[in-house]
Structure 1
Amino acid sequence: MDSVALVRDGLRISALLLAPIVAALVLLGQPDLAIAAVLGGMLGATNLIFLARGISSAIEGTVRGIDEARQARGEQPLAELEGAEAPPEDPTAVRRPIKVGGTFRLLLILLTIGALIVLRPGRPEGIVVGIVVVLLGVGISAHRHNRQR
């Protein structure tokens, strides 16, 4: 399963779910709750991206360690075993640029925290709504990707 596509689709679905909620809140005269929901969506998306990258790096490191141990014993790497899942068609699409990730993550964290500090949503329950919508979007995305397999 392509983790990049899963996260990308999850964020896209989350945005599509959050947009009508925010529009309805604005139309119902609750702009503070709408702003809080958008900030919650940003916070949820930030957490999702960091979690996905961390898990992906951990899995890659584990597989790399297993392959090195197998090669040291003279065995085939995991990718060459019968029935092994084929690598993605474009391996550069899955890899992240070296030394750019840390700067991007720091910028994303500072932007989210800055928005929370500056805008100070009067209705903090909107933040929960945004985070739950992101979780729902990722769940729908995972279900769709699982059905396609």
Structure 2
Amino acid sequence: MALVKFFRNLLLLLLLLYIAVLTSKTVQIFLLHKMNLMGSGWDDGAVQIFMENKTEFKPVILDMLDNNNMSAYEIDVTFTFAELLLDDEDIRSKLETISESHPQKQVRCFWHDVLNGRFEHAPVFPNQPNNGKNQFVAYRFVDNGTRCK
């Protein structure tokens, strides 16, 4: 009898957890961030899911960016996903404000560097002719240095 109650309670708990994950965009974005950290293809899947649902996740990212006392995990989540929303006017203006006046230097300088093009993608073999064929092009990051204070 006690074993039946245990399994019934466990099933109920799992069902409630499942419903919480389905309905909470914050939980979903934290799980996507965990997927992104795993790498090995999981990161591409997380980015794809985020991009397919970016209108649903935008308010969550904006809420996180509005908080001046973000936890380290929230900072990491915003570093990962807010950059994918730079084409959105609301996100961009919020990030410009953060890059000028956020109390944490780490956050302020990260967004200052992102918005001012500190890092750029440069092809590894920039002068190789294409000859009309599909060709694999590798890129590397070029660090132009920071001007953040």
Common fold by TM > 0.5: no
Looking at secondary structure, tell me which structure has more strand per residue: 2
TM-score (norm 1): 0.22
Kindly indicate whether structure 1 or structure 2 has the higher relative contact order, using CA contacts under 8 Å at least 6 residues apart.
1
TM-score (norm 2): 0.22
